[in-house]
Amino acid sequence: MIPDVYSLNELKEAIAAAPEQWRPLVFTNGCFDLLHTGHVRYLKVAKLLGRSLVVGLNSDLSVKMIKPQKPGCPPRPIVPETQRAEVIAALKSVDGVVIFSETTATQLIEALQPDIYVKGGDYSLETLPEASVVQSYGGRIELVKVEIPTSTTAIIDRILHPSD
């Protein structure tokens, strides 16, 4: 197992054993395929909101479900889940990574009950599938807008169409 990449049970045990090291717990989730500056900036801002930051990482299967293949593009994810997890876990702002197979992080959030749930500024409470579960236990939701100079889709497009 890669350090700082946990199973859900391992993470729950670590938090229960040392809550003073983890709480307030910030949680976010995503695919994080082809890690780029926007991701790094977003995770740095998220970390500032609490003591620890846990990233729920979509498994390869769930990425395939939420990022359907576009014509002329390779199937997503580009980078396998174990490699994505290792790269995310190596970031200074990230304290733990847990891979999940569902299309939303609702089950992880129910299990971990983070104090603060962070998503990008392109979401709203109405479009955030996990909002109701966070609100059900009194957690806080923060929608964070960061300047993102690129996206994974834009990187893939530049690779496939370098002359455009």
| Alpha carbon distance 139, 120 (integer Å) | 17
What pLDDT shows up at residue 122?
85
Q: Are 47 and 142 in contact (CB under 8 A)?
A: no
What pLDDT shows up at residue 42?
94
Let me know how long the chain is.
164
| Mode of pairing for the β-strands spanning 96-100 and 5-6 | parallel
CA angle 41/108/6 to nearest 5° reads: 75
Which CATH superfamily does the domain covering 5-160 fall into? HUPs (3.40.50.620)
What sections of the chain are H helices per DSSP? 8-17, 19-22, 37-47, 60-66, 81-89, 106-112, 131-136, 152-160
pLDDT in tens, the chain (164 residues): 566 999 999 999 999 999 999 999 999 999 998 888 889 999 999 999 999 999 999 999 999 999 887 777 788 899 999 999 999 999 999 999 999 999 999 999 999 999 999 999 888 999 999 999 999 999 999 999 877 666 666 766 777 678 75
| Alpha carbon distance 5, 95 (integer Å) | 9
Q: What is the DSSP letter of 69?
A: P
Residue linked to tokens 């769930």? 62
Model pTM above 0.85? yes
